[in-house]
A and B are shown apart, each in its own frame.
Chain A
Amino acid sequence: GPKVLQIPSHQIIDMGQMVTLNCDPVSNHLYFYWYKQILGQQMEFLVNFYNGKVMEKSKLFKDQFSVERPDGSYFTLKIQPTALEDSAVYFCASSPDWGRYEQYFGPGTRLTVL
């Protein structure tokens, strides 16, 4: 079936550094999402993105976070600067439309902030 790829699978960085998480969504999908999962906790919505714009963001999507998808390339989540509490697994997802449509998830990027 359709696959979402995430690069890298693991990332270790020092607190205060910038990090970019990359997502290669399903090719004909128009809606993109990031979710955050802290170890032992549930997956939580961060942000969704459509037509070059953020549609909705949660309170977890701090000012240090940004998303973009320049020219149909990777859908990225940038954190600048990182904080210890940003350590988590970040899942990217995409869907052809919103609401009742299936979201296809990537395998996640495990981010460790030291």
Chain B
Amino acid sequence: NAGVTQTPKFRILKIGQSMTLQCAQDMNHNYMYWYRQDPGMGLKLIYYSVGAGITDKGEVPNGYNVSRSTTEDFPLRLELAAPSQTSVYFCASSFGGQGYEQYFGPGTRLTVT
């Protein structure tokens, strides 16, 4: 199993550009999550999904959108990138939502200039 995979690993965007961060998992997990990690700030939940077709906002959803058309994929869309979105983005998945281990991908380092 590849686990949770994310692409790209690194990306530089100009202010106002858009992009999609890709996330896929091959563990047949129903729950998937997007976090952002800023230095010294821990991880903050952006969006999560409890199954295909179902998504909900986390703590910091502004400026992002998600979709979940399949169990395996959970892309994160950035519209009109801003410098405040410079961060490391992690996708995670879990079998269940109530206390089940979350498996994280390797991350995407995004810089907006």
Are both chains from one complex?
A: no
Residues of A within 8 A of B (CB): none
Residues of B within 8 A of A (CB): none
